[in-house]
């Protein structure tokens, strides 16, 4: 039995439900630095709405846009330099996981100008105390990463393209604003991929070696809602009820996993992202049923999946996930996406090693050997 770690569910203010973006009007501060991704938040008008609401609170905004997927350290550092010049007391991460993660990481370098390199915040180096200069607000535009209630960031090293996952409760956003209206313009493919990321969070938290009474309640509720509502949100993205349930479920799964961690679906997805640039949610979705089949060798995992399947009125949870992927138009195996099999097989050893060393591996119900990881990478590629 592992010693329990203290649970932390979100920062100091957690807002969710339709229209809660208005909460921005009540913030106290002078200058807000808004970090956002490509152009979707500008096009949808949400960025302007955020600026206007902050302005109603007497807060002046500066926008840093163009954060790429899986942000590079150079982008993070450029943002931190702009923050140092502007001097905000509020930082807003507005967008998908990448924009929110970038905002979190920029915040660390803004608060501590003595830090200048990515390695400065990679363990064993600690995340120093934050909140001397600014508080962090996160506003998700996807229902997936749950970065708004998580302690982690994923930052890509420029030279190697290795993606570093860094987690520390100090980076938990102070204020999370989960308004479904912000997510409504997400296209179907992004809805599907980010939704499967959220489902993977719930299912990995549920069988984590650190799972506990409270994380199980959160993870199981989120899993059931996502399995039921993700196909609906995918079909009819303009339906705010579906969007609201998906965003709430993503956040709820996030509260579970940020406390009890994940498993090897994430270890393998991080690795595939580093080697082949495959998007995180898509990698999760493809890998998930294979790892669940592997995990079923463990009694606890097998019983946990069976109990959830029963509640869903299904025979077998792995089949439920496979059918869900089919409904969402997600590939059954990786060879549909990465065509060059020889290139994939050539890096099998390296990938198995990277996945073995990923922080998420140690809470998987079965700690896989390098050989087992290699077998899994082959199965995920070829299908079976
Ligand atoms: Fe994830």
pLDDT digit string (tens) for 203-242?
999 999 999 999 999 999 999 999 999 999 999 999 999 9
Residue 169, classified by CB atoms within 10 Å of its CB into exposed (0-12), middle (13-18) or buried (19+), is middle
Separation of CA 196 and ligand 1 centre (Å): 9
Q: Go through the domains of the chain in sequence order and give each one's CATH number.
A: 13-182 (3.40.50.1970), 188-382 (1.20.1090.10)
Separation of CA 200 and ligand 1 centre (Å): 7
Separation of CA 131 and ligand 1 centre (Å): 26
Separation of CA 86 and ligand 1 centre (Å): 32
Separation of CA 204 and ligand 1 centre (Å): 10
**SS3 sequence, the chain?**
CCCCCCCCCCCCEEEECCCHHHHHHHCCCCEEEEEECCCHHHHCCHHHHHHHHHHHCCCEEEEECCCCCCCEHHHHHHHHHHHHHHCCCEEEEEECHHHHHHHHHHHHHHHCCCCCCHHHHCCCCCCCCCCCCCEEEEEECCCCCCHHHCCEEEEECCCCCCEEEEECHHHCCCEEEECHHHCCCCCHHHHHHHHHHHHHHHHHHHCCCCCCHHHHHHHHHHHHHHHHHHHHHHHCCCCHHHHHHHHHHHHHHHHHHHHHCCCHHHHHHHHHHHHHCCCHHHHHHHHHHHHHHHHCCCHHHHHHHHHHHHHCCCCCHHHHHHHHHHHCCCCCCHHHCCCCHHHHHHCHHHHHHHHHHCCCHHHCCCCCCHHHHHHHHHHHHHCC
Separation of CA 145 and ligand 1 centre (Å): 5
pLDDT at 2: 61
* CA dist., res. 382 & res. 384, Å (int): 7
Separation of CA 150 and ligand 1 centre (Å): 11
Separation of CA 71 and ligand 1 centre (Å): 15
Separation of CA 59 and ligand 1 centre (Å): 33
Strand order in the sheet with 175-178: 13-16, 175-178, 135-140, 90-95, 31-36, 60-64
pLDDT at 277: 92
Separation of CA 274 and ligand 1 centre (Å): 14
pLDDT at 1: 53
Separation of CA 193 and ligand 1 centre (Å): 10
Q: Which is nearest to 91 in space by CA: 77, 107, 105, 102? A: 107
Low-confidence ranges of the chain (pLDDT < 50): none
Separation of CA 343 and ligand 1 centre (Å): 25
Separation of CA 339 and ligand 1 centre (Å): 24
Separation of CA 257 and ligand 1 centre (Å): 9
Separation of CA 47 and ligand 1 centre (Å): 25
Separation of CA 338 and ligand 1 centre (Å): 20
Separation of CA 84 and ligand 1 centre (Å): 30
Separation of CA 281 and ligand 1 centre (Å): 7
Separation of CA 97 and ligand 1 centre (Å): 9
Separation of CA 190 and ligand 1 centre (Å): 14
Task: Taking the CA atoms of 115, 121, 125 and 127 in sequence, report the sign of the dihedral they define.
Answer: positive
Residues 335-369 have pLDDT tens digits of: 999 999 999 999 999 999 999 999 999 999 999 99
Separation of CA 284 and ligand 1 centre (Å): 7
């Amino acid at each position: 039995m592992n010693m329990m770690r203290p649970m932390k569910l979100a920062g100091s203010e957690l807002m969710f439900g339709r229209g809660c973006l208005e909460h921005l009007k009540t913030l106290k501060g002078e200058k807000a630095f808004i970090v956002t991704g490509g152009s979707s938040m500008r096009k949808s008008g949400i960025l302007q709405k955020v600026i206007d609401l902050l302005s109603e609170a007497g807060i002046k905004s500066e926008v840093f846009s163009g954060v790429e997927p899986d942000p590079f350290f150079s982008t993070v550092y450029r943002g931190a330099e702009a923050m140092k010049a502007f001097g905000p007391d509020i930082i807003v991460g507005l967008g998908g996981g990448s924009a929110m993660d970038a905002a979190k990481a920029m915040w660390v370098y803004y608060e501590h100008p003595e830090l200048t390199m990515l390695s400065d915040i990679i363990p064993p180096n600690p995340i120093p105390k934050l909140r001397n200069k600014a508080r962090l607000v996160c506003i998700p535009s996807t229902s997936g990463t749950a970065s708004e209630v998580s302690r982690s960031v994923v930052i890509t090293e420029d030279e190697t393209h290795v993606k570093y996952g860094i987690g520390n409760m100090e980076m938990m956003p102070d204020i999370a604003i989960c308004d479904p209206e912000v997510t409504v313009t997400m296209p179907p493919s992004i809805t599907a991929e980010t939704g499967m990321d959220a489902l993977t969070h719930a299912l990995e938290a549920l069988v984590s070696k650190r799972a506990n009474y409270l994380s199980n309640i959160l993870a199981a509720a989120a899993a059931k809602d996502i399995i039921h509502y993700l196909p609906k949100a995918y079909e009819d993205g303009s339906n705010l009820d579906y969007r609201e349930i998906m965003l709430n479920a993503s956040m709820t799964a996030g509260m579970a996993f940020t406390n009890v961690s994940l498993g090897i679906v994430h270890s393998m997805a991080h690795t595939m992202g580093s080697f082949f640039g495959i998007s995180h949610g898509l990698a999760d979705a493809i890998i998930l049923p294979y790892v669940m089949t592997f995990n079923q060798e463990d009694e606890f995992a097998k019983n946990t999946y069976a109990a959830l399947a029963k509640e869903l009125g299904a025979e077998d949870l792995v089949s439920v996930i496979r059918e869900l992927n089919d409904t969402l138009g997600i590939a059954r195996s990786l060879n549909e996406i990465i065509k060059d099999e020889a290139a994939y097989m050539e890096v099998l050893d390296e990938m198995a090693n990277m996945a073995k060393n990923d922080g998420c591996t140690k809470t998987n119900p079965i700690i896989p050997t390098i050989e087992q990881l290699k077998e899994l990478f082959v199965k995920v590629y070829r299908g079976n």
